Amino acid sequence: MPETETMTKVFARPRSLTEKRFTYCPGCHHGLITRILGSTIDKLGIQERTVVVAPVGCAVFAYEWFRCDGIQAAHGRAAAVATGLKRANPELVVLSYQGDGDLAAIGTAETVHAANRGEAITVIFVNNQIYGMTGGQMAPTTLDGQPTTSSPQGRDPATMGHPLRVAEMIAALEAPMYVTRQSLYDAKHITQATKAVEKALRYQVERRGYSLVEIVANCPTGWKMPPVKANEHIAATVTGVFPLGDLVDRG
């Protein structure tokens, strides 16, 4: 195959994504995650029965980017909305897409109890350690010492607590089928994250139960770093706090 045809095939827009332009900042991993999801939906052939639950956050317009049914949830309530959809029609493939402020702060209760009940949904949790859309404030996952607009001197564990490790918290429950933490800072980890997303969605198609894919992502704008530096920061520092790999796989 000629090189131009190969490039066209590799970078072609997944059928499950619309032509609507993303509103993510340049270099942000959200765009890559959205593309991975679109490609995986195509691969599994589930476009016609997939429902994407959009969060409040950087992916607030997710329902406009997927050529699937979509719904907007109130801040932090995506797991509750996804639960209602799945229980109302178990034939649906329900995908909840959430950031750390949405899932791990205001949505902590919904997150934990949906996982504890083993709701048959797939949760994509984007952990970029900051509130990216609202001005770069401290999030539950912000690293110790990390400066943000609401903690300009850095996160102080004595008064602000330590970063919340969501994947470990969910993995401690008995019901979840698959819990994993991945990242996207280089080609190898993009491949691994893609496989994890596919497994999580496939488990739902096979009626196996609840899955959570936590993706340690960058936020060049909020971190005030160029994208390459932000990726290096994930590899050198962030993964030391949030280790990558599968925590639970009962499939």
SS3 for 48-99, per residue?
HHEEEEECCCCCCCHHHHECCEEEECCCCCHHHHHHHHHHHCCCCEEEEEEE
Q: What is the pTM of this model?
A: 0.94
What is the pLDDT at residue 177? 98
pLDDT of the residue at 7: 44
- CA-CA distance, 179 to 174, in Å (whole number)? 11
The upper half-sphere exposure of residue 162, i.e. CA atoms within 13 Å in the direction of its Cβ, equals: 4
Residues of the chain with pLDDT under 70: 1-11
**Residue pointed to by tokens 């990242």:** 183
CB 178 within 8 A of CB 195: no
CATH architecture of 21-249: 3-Layer(aba) Sandwich (3.40)
* Residue 10, pLDDT score: 57
pLDDT for 112: 98
Q: What pLDDT is stored for residue 134 in this prediction?
A: 85
Rg (CA), the chain: 17
Who contacts 161 (Cβ-Cβ below 8 Å, separation ≥6)? none
> What pLDDT is attached to residue 133?
84
User: Which is it for strands 178-183 and 245-249: parallel, antiparallel or unpaired?
Assistant: antiparallel
Asked if residues 222 and 131 have their Cβ atoms less than 8 Å apart, the reply is yes
